[in-house]
Structure 1
Amino acid sequence: MEIKMPKLDVSMTEGTFMGWLVPDGSTVAAGEPIYSVGTDKVETEIPAPADGVLRYGDAAADTDYPVGTTLGLLDL
């Protein structure tokens, strides 16, 4: 399952990937915060959408990405 830059509000077109909150290769549970995203208004922790093993992608911390950009993978 792809982990993507979320759309946090209707006008959001990109966000800042702030970084991962758990190590690469970690087993995570659905609802557990796994990365954070910043906008000009707020920084938000994003939860895992399902149970699985987190695999980092090529996303660099403190970098802006368009909504929908794949940041990593979740092996189910």
Structure 2
Amino acid sequence: MPKLDVSMTEGTFLGWLVPDGSAVAEGEPLYTVGTDKVETEIPAPEHGVLRYGAVEVEGEYPVGTTLGRLELEH
């Protein structure tokens, strides 16, 4: 779970925007996160293949929780 502002301690995972195992490009939106102030799409930091982590359902998660991983293209 990314930290979207300095006071954020947890956020709401609202869902994946691409299927597990999909190749994604840098900047492509991967998932949506919400707080009491904002709802935002989180982009891929670089090219790779998205692999869901333990988080596949909506819910509240602490900042720093691994939501998924990006397997980098070689």
Q: Encode CA deviations 1:45-72: one digit per residue, 9 max, x unaligned.
A: 0000110000011114321111010011
The total of aligned residue pairs comes to 72
Counterpart residue identity of residue 24, structure 1: D
Regions of 4+ moved over 4 Å: none
Gaps of 5+ in 2: none
Structure holding more strand per residue = 1
Please, what TM-score do these two structures have when normalized by structure 2? 0.93
Equivalent position to 1:35, from 3, 21, 31: 31
Q: Encode CA deviations 1:28-47: one digit per residue, 9 max, x unaligned.
A: 01110000000011110000
Partner in structure 2 of residue 44 of structure 1: 40
Partner in structure 2 of residue 74 of structure 1: 70
Which structure ranks higher in relative contact order (CA pairs < 8 Å, sequence separation ≥ 6)? 1
Q: Percent identity?
A: 78
Gaps of 5+ in 1: none
Please, what TM-score do these two structures have when normalized by structure 1? 0.91
Partner in structure 1 of residue 60 of structure 2: 64
Counterpart residue identity of residue 52, structure 1: G
